[in-house]
Amino acid sequence: MKEQDEDRIKSLLREALPPVNDSVEPARDLWPAMLRRMEKQSVRAASVPWFDWALAGGLVAFAAIAPRTIPVILYYL
């Protein structure tokens, strides 16, 4: 790239992006909100829909009826 192009890109970037101040802090404490969000996600992860339990039960029943299919089932997991 030519020096002229580099200078043009630098000037365009300076115009487009505001200067960053190191002293800028959030208006409020964000940690309590983060804790609430993490608790919501852990509660959601613990609740498993009934359909997933039905699929797991079907797999167990199928493996009990036809044990030779266990390696095939494990392969596709």
> Which position has the higher pLDDT, 24 or 59?
59
Which pLDDT score, from 0 to 100, does residue 45 have? 58
Q: What is the pLDDT of residue 43?
A: 65
Residue 52 inside a domain? The answer is: yes
Residues spanned by the domain of 65: 48-77
Task: Give pTM, 2 decimals.
Answer: 0.39
- Tell me what the mean pLDDT of segment 6-27 comes to: 84
Q: How far apart are CA 32 and CA 40, in angstroms?
A: 13
The answer to whether residue 28 scores a pLDDT higher than 90 is no
Task: Supply the pLDDT for residue 8.
Answer: 93
Tell me whether residue 72 is in a domain: yes
Give the total number of structural domains in the chain: 1
Residue 30 lies in a domain: no
> Over 80: is that where the pLDDT of 25 sits?
no
Give a yes or no: residue 66 inside a domain.
Answer: yes
Within 10 A of 53 (CB to CB), how many other CB atoms are there? 10
CA distances from 7 to 4, 17, 18 (A): 5, 15, 18
